[in-house]
Chains A and B, each alone.
Chain A
Amino acid sequence: MNILEEILEKARRVAQEAEVFHLEQVDTPVRFEANQLTSIDTRELTGVALRIIKDGRVGFSATTDLSDLDALVQAAVETAPFGAEAQFQFPEVQSVPTVPVFDPAVGDLPLDRMVRIGQQTMDGIRAFSDEVLVSGSVSRSSQTVTLMNSRGGYVQYAKSGFGIGFEGSVVRGTDMLFVFDSLSGCRPIGDSSPVVASIIRQLEYAKHTATTETKSMPVLLMPTAVASVVLSPILVALNGKTVVQGTSPLADKLGQQVASPAFSVVNDPTLPFVPGSRPSDDEGVASKRVPLIDKGVVANFLYDLQTAGQANAESTGSGERGLSSLPSPASSVLVVSEGQSSFEQMLAEMGEGLVVERLLGAGQGNMLGGDFNANVLLGYKVEGGQIVGRVKDTMVHGNAYKALENLIAVGGQGRWVGGGLYTPSIVCADIAVATKA
């Protein structure tokens, strides 16, 4: 009997239903600081989480100490009398789609090869300017997820990961510039030139300093800014938890237009070799493609088993968890639909405006209501349809929903931001910009 079966059997002696989630992973980051290799790490994690349903209530415990399984079961039993009422049953065995997310080539990649990839990335950036100090990492990972429940449900899959992420910093007096980019996937990435090119592009745009005024203007959000300004609040509002709770501003808007028809986003964890993909979610529910906002209309909310039960809906296969807590609804792989405009066209149509590469503190405001209010960490002034330089001491302020109603262009070419988002740039009209200058 393996350890999962053993836990399940122990748990079933004291509870009606049980589920065991087992995670085993190894991450190996090769880290660079200030143009130098500084460390090589191996980070292993093995642990197990137990969820039980006892007298209709959910109990939970987790441990990385696999030597005392009785204590694990006992801890779950102890919490159950106070736990949430279970509004679901664990899924029985079901067919899950084939989603390739494992490539053995990742594990076979020697450490010195990873060191060389990092070195080449740093050299590439410093060839553009030796004023730049470069830090970052090249990392590989592998994990095996196993899930087993008392109704016969069973899922096991392996996932590999590879990532390259670098930051360049330029300091002149007390003027500081930080530029960043990364690439990730489930297969080895031998060529870091897209990261180098993106960092050089940011350095290029930021070479000159520009000023802006305090007023409303069109703002072009680059993919990273799309994530923080628009998608973060929308995801909170589409989350089954806030929907069930009634705090989501979209809770009663299913089927209604809340954004420009040019805006669509789906959650699709079935895309091959994307880090956020997987055959099933962390509760054993099969992965599927779920439209969230379709041509500006609210199409679906993201549910796990519990919130689906509360909402009288079906789980969308969106149960996400780490080792230490219960699953909760979350997106896995978001894909925002591309539009038609090239970057140059978008700048030309803006005439005068702001390009926002990255923000500082976008998630700190009233995100539930969609408000954003953030410092422009890296952004450029646009005049006469051209980028004229970097702005500083500047804040943008607005509301994600209003910004999406005022969407005036969607870029024709998207890109990945981390392992779970693909999006083009977008242009929103009338965003409030505040500055000291």
Chain B
Amino acid sequence: MSDTGLRERIQEALGSVSAEYIEVRVEESQGSHIRYRGKELEEIGRNSNLGGNVRALAGGGWGFACFNDISDLKSKVRMAVEQAKLVTTDRVELAPVDPVVRIVPPVLGKDPRTVPLSEKKDILDHYVETILSTPEVRSSTVQYGDGHRRIVFANSEGTYIEQERIDVTVRLAAMARNNGDVQQSSVSLGSLGDFGFVERLDDQAREVAQKSVALLNAPEVKGGPYTVILDPILAGVFIHEAFGHLSEADHVYNDPKMREIMVLGRRFGGEHLNVVDGASVPELRGSYQYDEEGVESHRTDLIREGVLVGRLHSRETAAKMGEAPTGNARAISYRFPPIVRMTNTFIEPGQSPVEDLFAGVKEGVYARNWYGGMTSMEMFTFSAGEAYMIRNGKVEELLRPVMLSGNLFTTMENLDAVANDLDMNQGGGCGKNGQSPLPVSNGSPHIRIQNCLVGGA
């Protein structure tokens, strides 16, 4: 994006129409992606984007316009304001924030843009070979992506922010096949601004290959309720899916019944349970300095000693609920208006060594690694990449992948132990309202849940 006069043009556009509130974003991004299917490098490509959007409040609700032609910002501002004027509903208020003018440099380790494509390919070739050279592995998928976004944001209250971020992701998957039976294992990893981790995935490549093969001979779990122990990765997905989404205030703010359920002070679990979300926790994939409404990032306590103490807000939801904004308004690109999203979400570590969680479990399931997760507020499902039976406190045979499912409220109550080994998973991409994948991280120590429904034969 040629910067000549961009700031002035944005300011001019903001001042060209009268409305209660107007914001303008212009975004420039570049990325590259590489995908292997088996040995074959199936796709390699480079993308660049230039686009912008305008969001306006005029009289009642929102008008929004996004576009690629940024030459006439004034007409786009006019369009958004005209649309907003048609939304004659209850007046949207925005929680006040101080205007800020800042240029934020990117968080940078090894910049993926400085690594030649040939070098990226050589590194990935090696992982493909590692996976495919494992006996009984039939195929693999190896995916790499990097993206650089530069966002210029300004609003009619005087805020002007330039921010850059670089996101790097890798997914390694192995597929083993025996007659008609296909089993797979995968791992997703990511980083905010650092290509370095991509160079150090030998162990992970070997592991996914071996796991996919091992699953061919694994029995299925018998479905039903079990005592379940989750490893940090899966527990992180659990807290993101099951609880995190419900703490996003846009699910709550205009629904009186949901407000009753999510009333601050409500007990969700035992005193060992502490849950946090925060983009100000540094150098994780969900980290940033200002959100997409220009609000400074926070570290928000959601659950403190088992009690609900906070939630995630945009300026709109904060105003509506009479709470302070938390800097959680995010958008995956200029194509979307910002909505309330998580950032880095985790269960804080407790005191217990991991072994203590297993001790005394007569029959249970040890679920590890992440395959996916979804939530419908009250109910959630999350699937483990691998699982083992626990008998008399000991981890025993490998099982086919299991799906854990349940009711948020009872499951949080049944979460009876939190270990001391917090680990953050950086491979996640979150989806909401058509915006996916949004870079997030989530994490937890090992946790134990009593009476959790496990899907099986």
Contact = CB atoms under 8 A, between A and B. Distances in A.
Contacts of B265: none
Contact of A171 (B37, B257, B373, B454): B257
A375 B380 CA distance: 8
A13 interface: no
Contacts of A169: 255
A42 B47 contact: no
A175 to B, nearest CB: 7
A40 B57 CA distance: 11
Given A36-B89, A75-B46, A395 B64 contact: no
Contacts of A43: 64-66, 335
B183 A83 contact: no
A37 interface: yes
Interface string B165-204: 0000000000101001111100000000000000000000
B401 interface: yes
Contacts of A83: 41, 43-44
B378 interface: yes
Contacts of A351: none
Interface residues of B, number: 86
A33 interface: yes
Given A41-B83, A43-B335, A374-B455, A247 B138 contact: yes
Interface string A318-345: 0000001110000000000000000000
Interface in A21-39: 33-34, 36-39
Interface in A54-111: 59-67, 71-72, 75-76, 78-79, 81-84, 111
Q: Contact size class for A? A: 35 or more
Given A246-B138, A434-B223, A436-B451, A361 B373 contact: yes
A84 B42 contact: yes
Given A60-B45, A61-B47, A369-B183, A361 B89 contact: no
A157 interface: no
Contacts of B374: 360-361, 364
Given A71-B48, A364-B373, A397 B457 contact: yes
A395 B377 contact: no
Contacts of B429: none
A385 interface: no
A82 B41 contact: yes
Given A64-B49, A65-B49, A83-B44, A364 B67 contact: no
Nearest to B64: A41
A393 B50 contact: no
Interface in B213-266: 223-225, 254-255, 257-258, 261
A62 B37 contact: no
Interface in B31-81: 32-34, 37-38, 40-51, 61-69, 79-80
Contacts of A84: 40-44
Interface stretch (B275-283, B291-299, B304-312, B402-410): B402-410
Contact of B117 (A78, A174, A364): A78
B83 to A, nearest CB: 4
Contact of B381 (A76, A176, A375): A375
B223 A82 contact: no
A44 B67 contact: yes
A384 interface: no
Contacts of A33: 254
B376 interface: yes
B453 A79 contact: no
A40 B87 contact: yes
Given A60-B46, A83-B41, A36 B379 contact: no
B211 to A, nearest CB: 13
A241 interface: yes
B274 interface: no
A178 interface: yes
A265 interface: no
B129 to A, nearest CB: 16
A363 to B, nearest CB: 7
B182 to A, nearest CB: 4
B47 A369 contact: no
A366 B401 contact: yes
A34 B92 CA distance: 14
Contacts of A34: 254-255
Contacts of B406: 393, 436
B40 to A, nearest CB: 6
B254 A364 contact: no
Give the interface centre of A79, A241, A246, A326 by most chain B CB atoms within 10 Å.
Answer: A79
B456 interface: yes
Contacts of B62: 38-40
B457 A365 contact: no
A67 B71 CA distance: 11
B182 A176 contact: no
A156 interface: no
B36 to A, nearest CB: 10
B338 interface: no
B241 to A, nearest CB: 9
Nearest to B258: A171
B382 A361 contact: yes
A75 B378 contact: no
B383 interface: yes
B87 A364 contact: no
Interface string B371-412: 111111111111100000000000000001111011111000
A133 interface: yes
Give the interface centre of A62, A133, A377, A436 by most chain B CB atoms within 10 Å.
Answer: A436
Contacts of A60: 43-46
A373 interface: yes
Contacts of A111: 83, 86
B45 A368 contact: no
A78 B83 CA distance: 43
Contacts of B455: 373-375, 395-397, 434
B337 interface: yes
28 contacts: A38-B61, A39-B64, A39-B83, A40-B87, A42-B79, A43-B66, A44-B67, A46-B69, A62-B46, A75-B48, A111-B86, A112-B86, A169-B255, A172-B257, A173-B261, A178-B376, A214-B224, A241-B42, A246-B177, A360-B380, A360-B405, A364-B381, A365-B371, A365-B401, A366-B183, A369-B180, A393-B407, A395-B405
Interface of A: 33-34, 36-47, 59-67, 71-72, 75-76, 78-79, 81-84, 111-112, 115, 133, 169, 171-176, 178, 214, 241, 245-247, 249, 324-326, 360-361, 363-366, 368-369, 373-375, 377, 392-393, 395-397, 432, 434-436
Given A62-B47, A78-B117, 4 more contacts: A41-B65, A62-B48, A174-B408, A247-B175
